[in-house]
Structure 1
Amino acid sequence: MVPQGLTSGQWRRMKLRHPRARGFWLYYPNDQEGGHQALRVYTRDAYDFAVVVWKTCGICRHGVISKISIIDDWHRQGIGRRLIRQALDGCADYTWTTSGQSTLAKQFFPAMTEETGAAFTPLAPVCPHIRSGRPGSAAPRLLTGG
């Protein structure tokens, strides 16, 4: 099994370069304004146990968290917090919204609002760039320090 967007050779080399890494944080960028970006966290056997998908618009200074998901066994370890902080990197002063929120997310996002200052208003209107944004196709990049 190989993470999305990598060849088996790339994955093998990544694991060899980081022999002690428990998780691999792969960022999937998008160069289109308002397009989907993602951060997926994989175990050494390529099991993706956490993901955040978001869109940002530098023109309108708006961002939306489209999805955040963490497998139950990995909850309460700070991973969600790290995922959101990475999505906000360079865009913390944007107006942020989320898609509809689960019961768990209704507890999580207020804590993140307090920590980051971003409101994460559920289902708030977004700009036309984000509404028309598409998934990216760029190769993933390993984030060091996740």
Structure 2
Amino acid sequence: MDRQVSFERVFPALPAGRQAVSVLDAGHRLVGCLEYQVCHVCRIGYVANIAVASHWQGQGLGRDVLHTALAPCGGYTWSTSRQSSEGRRFFAAMEEETDVAFPAGGVQCSHMTS
């Protein structure tokens, strides 16, 4: 399978509003997406959802979008929404790779929920 993809970012409307990184295939069809929030005041990040189309899984797209979110947030504390069994394996691998913990059911700060 040809791994020609592009990334498209959506930035938050609020200071700690929801952001997204979408993965588009060569035909500009959505094949993956990471929805997350970052509060620079509290130095925390929250992964609300990450998904990659089944026929694109195993090619590093989830890894790439998560690294995109983490890049400007060095030293931040991260958490995720509830995790599926696949999500637990993914986040365990990412924790080992990045030295960032991704506990499930994490807490969002007041800046993220207002």
> Is the radius of gyration larger for structure 1 or structure 2?
1
Larger RCO of the pair (alpha carbons < 8 Å, separation 6+): 1
Matched with 1:109 is: 91
Q: 1:66: Cα distance to partner?
A: 0.5
Q: Contact 1:42–1:48 (CA<8 Å) still a contact in 2?
A: yes
Alignment partner of 1:64 out of 27, 32, 46: 46
Q: Which sections of structure 2, spanning at least 5 residues, go unmatched?
A: none
Q: How does 1:56-95 map to 2 (within 5 A)?
A: 56-95=38-77
Q: CA deviation at 1:43?
A: 1.6
Q: Indicate the residue corresponding to 2:21 in structure 1.
A: 39
Q: Percent identity?
A: 32
Q: Which amino acid aligns with 2:98?
A: T
- State the 4+ residue runs in structure 1 displaced beyond 2 angstroms: none
- TM-score of the superposed pair, with normalisation by structure 1: 0.73
> CA offsets, 1:12-33, max 9 Å, x none?
xxxxxxxxx9212111112522
Q: Deviations over 1:6-54 (max 9, x none)?
A: xxxxxxxxxxxxxxx9212111112522101101011232210000011
8 A Cα contact 2:36 2:48, kept in partner:
yes
Q: Give the TM-score normalised by the residue count of structure 2.
A: 0.92
Gaps of at least 5 residues in structure 1 are: 1-20, 133-146
Indicate the structure with greater strand content: 2
Q: Which residue matches 1:23?
A: 5
